Structure 1
Amino acid sequence: MMEPSSGNGFLLHAARENPPQIDKYSVVEAFGRRKCPKLVEQVQEEDVVLRVNALKVLCDEFRNPISVQGCIDAGVLQALHRHIKEGDDETRVWSSKALYLAAEDSNGRAAMLAEDTAGTMFPCLDDASVDVRNNILSALCSFSAGVEAVHRMVNVGYPAQLVTKAAKELASVKPLVLKLLRNLLKDERGLNIVLDNEGVETCHGLLRHGEEDVRTEAAQTLGFMCFAGLAKATAIGCGAVGRLVTILVDKSWRVRAAAAYALMVITIDDEGKKAFLPAGGVQPLLALLGDEEKLVRLNALKVMASVAVHPEVRAGFLADESCLERLEALTQSPDTLLAKHAIVAKDAVLWEP
């Protein structure tokens, strides 16, 4: 048997340096069933740097439904509840983000309902950190997808608080506040609380806000609110029809679509139809029939079908020679939904007693 040369022996048996020591602040994944429990333990570390690093890893893991369930079973929600109330700024930011990601998972929402996360989050609406408030509101928007969650949030006291925040919050936070407020209108008691706290008036005031997202969410929330008769009457009384007509020509198509949606709801009642013509709504609405966005055209057709029942409004449409031409063109649209509503609107405009 050939003996290895001294050179080969050196290559086989030479001493090697020890591997670099793992940084004490690194979060190293455990194997198997210990993966989630170990991560939850590290999330609760006293050392701020290690705790924050663990929370960042947790947020990455929460994109995996299996990890969400595993961490919930290991008690992560209780730890996150403590952190969003008592932690330092960075801990609160990452803990609130983890809750936001958990709320996007069905098992996460079920666990949050069982652990009364809505009650824990309520004081966090006034957190000093804008990032925390945005994360909390995002979490609650996802959480409130379920009826039980909405009932629970109404019982905690969210509706009145959200109306106040819609008026006073920073512009960057208002859209999420309005979106969450809209979710809570699905509960009858929540709707009544919002109306009692001037929710209609608040949304009406925000229709002229400088930020596109705020105007959009305000119009959508106002429209959803006005399915209730009392809200509709309040909106008409405070001049919402005129305000909505002015933003039918907004530079943002999302605002135009939301404004048309709100008008569609408000003009269901005769008083809403009567307010449409004095507000100068005929020409802005006709202009929307040629909008580039399908949703804007669709909502405009629905408004037209609603308000054309009023004789004076119908006469206003017919006074514009382009009205029937535009409607006829839309009835020939390859989009069957647009064509269907164009036919309805055209019939309403041409109706004679």
Structure 2
Amino acid sequence: MTTSVISARLPPDIDLTKATLAYGNRALPRLNRELNDATLLTRQKSVRMLCDYLHDPQNIAGALREGITVSLKKLLADSDITVRQKSTECLYVIAGHAIGREAFLREGIIVPLSKLFDDSEDIARLNAHLAFEMLSKSPTGAEGIVEAKLVPTLVKKLKIEHDEIKELILDTLHFCMFEETQSALDSEAMEVFTELLQHKSSSIRGKAARDIMDLSVPLNGKNRAVEVKCVPVLVDLLKDTCTDVRANAAGALMMITITTKGKYTALASDAIAPLVSLVDDPTSEVRVNAVKALTCLSEAPEGRKALSDHVEKIKARTEEEVPAVVKAANCAASVITWKP
């Protein structure tokens, strides 16, 4: 299976000669000055040199002190694609450092950078999403994205973007939902995630199932998952050949089946048989999530009755070396064998 890859190669008619880097502590002031130059070629050269310069982590702090992020913020609106491309790449590199993420919030870069989501060039959009994904990995960064009300925009872009960018958006939303889930629910994210469960890419299927698990933490998320008929699709994914897909599908069912409505929807979707088969999965994460989901289902009388034939198989997992699996198996066996 072939997939399109967004190229970062510069246009052939651009002068690839980099700007001359000044010596010592004069390097950054000169680069910063040239980033704001009225001549296009000067801006192209300087932003390209800056991008290479920032790849050395030792130069990040000095660049921030010099106010480089303020200049890059202005260049995001430049009419030249090369300038926008390298500016977003610079910001992606900066977002990879804690002090850089702090600068994003301090200088108000989140909203201007989000405007690149609509850029006509794939590489500019890709770099912008790379920066957002990196920013979202810190709680304050994820909070900043949520407060900027960008979750609805990210959900909307999931429907139309390239697969490479979709993966980044799913990761960004994953971290944002640690902070707040209501905006994602209001944006019909559960419906979009459910559609992506049938995507041809196993990576996207796995990330979509993971995001459904995140969105199913609150009660209204669990109810929405049932309403949009997410459960039958998740049950089908329990047989997926990809480990991450199986683990996250089982994890999502584990969350959804906490409610009575979720339990009976999963039972009606014949979830017990595929979940029982995952009890012996070679990956411990899959085993843990499957056993926990079975524990939830066994809280319903019908589930307990169906699982009574498999209790020995579950008990066998209490003899393995992974503590999390042992704990989950003991809990499951206790619930299944419970007598009123």
TM-score bucket (shorter structure): 0.7 to 0.9
Q: Is 1:159 aligned to 2:146, yes or no?
A: no
Q: Is contact 1:103–1:112 with CA below 8 Å preserved after alignment? A: yes
Q: What SS class does the counterpart of residue 280 from structure 2 fall into?
A: coil
TM-score, with normalisation over the residues of structure 2? 0.88
Q: What SS class does the counterpart of residue 312 from structure 1 fall into?
A: helix
Q: Is 1:326 aligned to 2:310, yes or no?
A: no
Distance 1:349 1:91, change over 3 A: same
Q: Is contact 1:25–1:50 with CA below 8 Å preserved after alignment? A: no
Match of 1:144 among 136, 147, 152: 136
Q: Is contact 2:284–2:322 with CA below 8 Å preserved after alignment? A: no
Percent identity between matched residues is 28
Q: Is 1:200 aligned to 2:190, yes or no?
A: yes
Match of 1:219 among 209, 217, 223: 209
Letter paired with 1:289: V
Counterpart of 1:55? 47
Q: Is contact 2:267–2:297 with CA below 8 Å preserved after alignment? A: no
Letter paired with 1:280: D
Counterpart of 1:276? 266
Distance 1:204 1:26, change over 3 A: closer
Rounded to whole Å, the distance in 2 between the matches of 1:327 and 1:49 is 67
Letter paired with 1:64: D
Letter paired with 2:57: P
Counterpart of 1:120? 112
TM-score, with normalisation over the residues of structure 1? 0.85
Q: Is 1:135 aligned to 2:122, yes or no?
A: no
1:278 CA displacement: 1.0
Counterpart of 1:342? 329
Q: Is 1:86 aligned to 2:78, yes or no?
A: yes
Rounded to whole Å, the distance in 1 between the matches of 2:19 and 2:65 is 20
1:108 CA displacement: 0.6
Match of 2:32 among 31, 40, 52: 40
Distance 1:274 1:55, change over 3 A: same
Rounded to whole Å, the distance in 2 between the matches of 1:145 and 1:178 is 12
Counterpart of 2:101? 109
Rounded to whole Å, the distance in 1 between the matches of 2:289 and 2:142 is 28
1:27 CA displacement: 3.8
1:317 CA displacement: 2.1
Rounded to whole Å, the distance in 1 between the matches of 2:44 and 2:118 is 22
1:280-295 superposed matches below 5 A: 280-295=270-285
Q: Is contact 1:100–1:139 with CA below 8 Å preserved after alignment? A: yes
1:37 CA displacement: 2.2
Counterpart of 1:5? none
1:189-226 Cα distance to aligned partner (Å, 9 max, x none): xx323222212112122211222122112111111111
Letter paired with 2:135: F
1:113 CA displacement: 0.6
Letter paired with 2:65: D
Match of 2:307 among 308, 317, 322: 317
1:245-296 Cα distance to aligned partner (Å, 9 max, x none): 0111111111111111111111111111111111011111111122222211
Q: What SS class does the counterpart of residue 17 from structure 2 fall into?
A: coil
Flag the structure with larger Rg.
Answer: 1
**Structure 1: runs of 5+ lacking an equivalent:** 1-22
Rounded to whole Å, the distance in 2 between the matches of 1:316 and 1:174 is 39
Q: Greater CA deviation, 216-225 or 164-173?
A: 164-173
1:148 CA displacement: 4.0
Rounded to whole Å, the distance in 2 between the matches of 1:342 and 1:279 is 23
Match of 1:296 among 286, 290, 311: 286
The count of aligned residue pairs is 326
Counterpart of 2:235? 245
Q: Is contact 1:36–1:67 with CA below 8 Å preserved after alignment? A: no
Distance 1:155 1:26, change over 3 A: closer
Match of 2:89 among 64, 83, 97: 97
Rounded to whole Å, the distance in 2 between the matches of 1:52 and 1:283 is 60
1:325-344 Cα distance to aligned partner (Å, 9 max, x none): 43233211122222222222
Letter paired with 1:278: A
